[in-house]
């Protein structure tokens, strides 16, 4: 017979009586994923590449994609078919066969009518153009909505928004350089200048991701760069990240007035995630700008941060007011559709795989932080306070809806 000393006895009994939590196993679910072609003539992106489709189908999911959905991003139907997707001749066919819809732009009224109860929509919202009727229709039809603008990781970063903002920031300076040229009715100056001739002055409103990539690109051109924000911490971070090669200032009325007078280019990048953009530059400030100077309002899809901005398009991108060129295209990354599609694919495909591995949306929303924060309509309720205040629609907290099993 084995004799235990007291310490061994205590240790053995303690180990044996420890409670173990039972890990709940989720059975993965096969998803029917639909990718309709974007209806807007200026939207050339698609959510998933052929490579992404092959990953989804290899994991047991079905992918239905509308004919020519990827053609504007230079992805052919043959590539999608060879990757395992089913090519549908119409959008209606995609909507009928799918439970999860992946779009870049939010659906219009006709597309919403094609959708049915219990379908899940993952897309951008474009809050600057959103109307209360869109959310009311989503609620009425029982469609679950997940917005690019709300999908947030545990470190509070917004992965899809960030990818698009990196592209937008870099492109905004490239665009501004083009419109400064004489042939574009600009001042006829080079962004970087030359020996003996000063460079252009670029004023960037905001100190977020768009601003960072705009500043990096403008510095690469050789421009003089000012960055303005109301958050001193963000200005300090950006200043350090760029080795103090930029000039920073608080975005108060005095500094904004002085900066706009001196600016050859203004990049509007002031925004708050999930909200309309704040308007920092007033109409009188724009009126005092140099003739032939350029404004690129990169947050026009969130309402714009410059009073004279109004949405334009890739086919008709600019207008002039007070002899200042305004470029206010909401979907700037669509101009480099192939790059932007790869960026979307890199975030969305793992996200969709996780939904399937969790056993479907209802199971995933319990445990997936990104999915929970990304959802704005669930079980016929608006779930975002910011949207409720913006559109005067009642809302319910999504955690309460999940817990109540409604």
User: Which residues participate in catalysis according to the annotation?
Assistant: 126, 301
CA distances from 278 to 251, 304, 305, 310, 386 (A): 11, 7, 5, 14, 14
Residues 230 and 234: their CA atoms lie apart, in Å, by 9
Residues 349 and 352: their CA atoms lie apart, in Å, by 5
Is residue 401 within 8 A of residue 383, CB to CB? The reply is: yes
Structure tokens belonging to residue 147: 């917005």
Q: What's the first-to-final CA gap in the chain, in angstroms?
A: 59
Strand-strand pairing, 318-321 and 324-327: antiparallel
State the residue for tokens 């959008």: 91
Is residue 266 within 8 A of residue 296, CB to CB? The reply is: yes
Query: CB within 8 A of 169, min separation 6: which ones?
Result: 209, 210, 211, 212, 213, 214, 215, 216, 217, 267, 269, 298
Structure tokens belonging to residue 395: 């809302």
The DSSP symbol for 182 reads G
Residues 328 and 404: their CA atoms lie apart, in Å, by 44
CA distances from 47 to 29, 33, 38, 202, 358 (A): 21, 11, 10, 33, 21
Is residue 202 within 8 A of residue 267, CB to CB? The reply is: yes
Query: CB within 8 A of 347, min separation 6: which ones?
Result: 159, 160, 163
The DSSP symbol for 360 reads S
Is residue 348 within 8 A of residue 102, CB to CB? The reply is: yes
3-state secondary structure of 326: strand
Is residue 157 within 8 A of residue 150, CB to CB? The reply is: no
């Amino acid at each position: 017979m084995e004799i235990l000393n007291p310490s061994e006895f205590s240790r053995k009994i303690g180990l044996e009586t420890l409670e173990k939590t039972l890990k709940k196993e989720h059975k993965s679910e096969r998803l029917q994923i639909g990718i309709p072609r974007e209806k807007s003539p200026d939207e050339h992106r698609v959510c998933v590449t052929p490579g992404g489709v092959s990953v989804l189908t290899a994991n047991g999911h079905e992918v239905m994609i509308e004919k020519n959905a990827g053609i504007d991003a230079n992805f052919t139907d043959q590539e999608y078919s060879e990757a395992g997707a089913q090519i549908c001749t119409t959008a209606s066919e995609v909507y009928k066969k799918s439970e999860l819809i992946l779009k870049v732009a939010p659906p219009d009224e006709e597309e919403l009518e094609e959708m049915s109860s219990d379908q899940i929509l993952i897309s951008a919202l474009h809050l600057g153009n959103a109307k209360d009727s869109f959310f009311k229709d989503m609620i009425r039809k029982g469609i679950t909505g997940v917005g690019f603008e709300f999908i947030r990781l545990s470190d509070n970063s917004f992965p899809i928004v960030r990818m698009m903002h990196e592209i937008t920031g870099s492109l905004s300076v490239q665009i501004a350089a083009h419109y400064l040229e004489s042939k574009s009715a600009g001042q006829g100056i080079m962004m970087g200048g030359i020996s003996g001739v000063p460079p252009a002055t670029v004023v960037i409103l905001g100190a977020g991701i768009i601003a960072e990539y705009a500043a990096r690109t403008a510095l690469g051109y050789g421009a003089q760069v000012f960055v303005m924000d109301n958050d001193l911490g963000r200005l300090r971070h950006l200043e350090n990240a760029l080795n103090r090669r930029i000039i920073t200032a608080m975005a108060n009325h005095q500094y904004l007035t002085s900066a706009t007078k001196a600016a050859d280019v203004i990049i509007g990048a002031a925004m708050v995630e999930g909200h309309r953009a704040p308007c920092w530059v007033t109409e009188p400030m724009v009126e005092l700008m140099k003739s032939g100077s350029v404004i690129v309002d990169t947050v026009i899809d969130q309402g714009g941060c410059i009073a004279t901005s109004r949405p334009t398009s890739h086919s008709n991108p600019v207008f002039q007011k007070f002899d200042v060129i305004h470029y206010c295209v909401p979907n700037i990354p669509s101009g480099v559709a192939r790059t932007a599609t790869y960026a979307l694919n890199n975030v969305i495909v793992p996200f969709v795989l996780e939904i399937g591995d969790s056993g479907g949306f209802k199971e995933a929303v319990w445990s997936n932080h990104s999915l929970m924060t990304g959802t704005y309509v669930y079980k016929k309720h608006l779930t975002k306070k910011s949207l409720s205040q913006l559109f005067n629609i009642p809302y319910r907290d999504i955690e309460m809806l999940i817990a109540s099993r409604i």
